[in-house]
Homo-oligomer: A and B are copies of this chain.
Amino acid sequence: MIPTKMVIASHNQKKVEEMRRILEQAGLEIEILGTDSFPDLQDVEETGSTFAANAMLKAKYVSNETGLPAVADDSGLCVDALNGMPGILSARWAGQHGNDHANLELLLAQIAHIPRKRRGASFVCAVAYCEPGGREFIVEGSMNGEIIDSPRGAHGFGYDPIFVPMGQSVTSAQLTAEEKDVISHRGHALKAFIRELSAG
């Protein structure tokens, strides 16, 4: 059954906007709340070793604290030449949580000597859902592409400016929100989420 209210369990405003946009676009008739409506919520320590585990930690915590269904995303960029890292450490790759500029610059410096043919990468997104005393599930989505030498574009966030999705000639940060949602890891994961939510 589709709930009437749901909390998006994230303090990242850019991510909340993107999730809200995709969910509303799908025509779900759910009142979607941000964590800003619940000032007592703490940051959840992301101690899991996978996107899925960390997403579920966040969804469970927010659902328990608010008594409402909660949906959480954990996502990141997995770079082939870095054995899949930054991965779950994407948001704190340069050491400080959420410094998009520092994270991106560090990544570019680390792969500066890596030849173009070994620049493959994937964005991965796990979406976890948790209802108080009810359903729990996790879905995932991904987007393949490659890392370029310097940032291009002003949309999106995180590593978008250095990632060219497969089949595109521009970076994720040069796509409009609507173009990005159609092909993005988060778009794919949230579409799977909506299917699962509607089927349950």
Contacts and interface: CB of A to CB of B under 8 A. Distances in A.
A112 B47 CA distance: 11
A85 B85 CA distance: 8
Given A83-B84, A92-B110, A95-B110, 13 more contacts: A45-B113, A46-B113, A47-B113, A49-B81, A82-B83, A83-B87, A85-B85, A89-B110, A92-B109, A95-B105, A95-B106, A95-B109, A95-B112
28 contacts: A45-B113, A46-B113, A47-B113, A47-B115, A49-B81, A49-B118, A82-B83, A82-B85, A82-B89, A83-B83, A83-B84, A83-B85, A83-B87, A85-B85, A89-B110, A92-B109, A92-B110, A92-B113, A93-B110, A94-B106, A94-B109, A95-B105, A95-B106, A95-B109, A95-B110, A95-B112, A96-B109, A106-B106
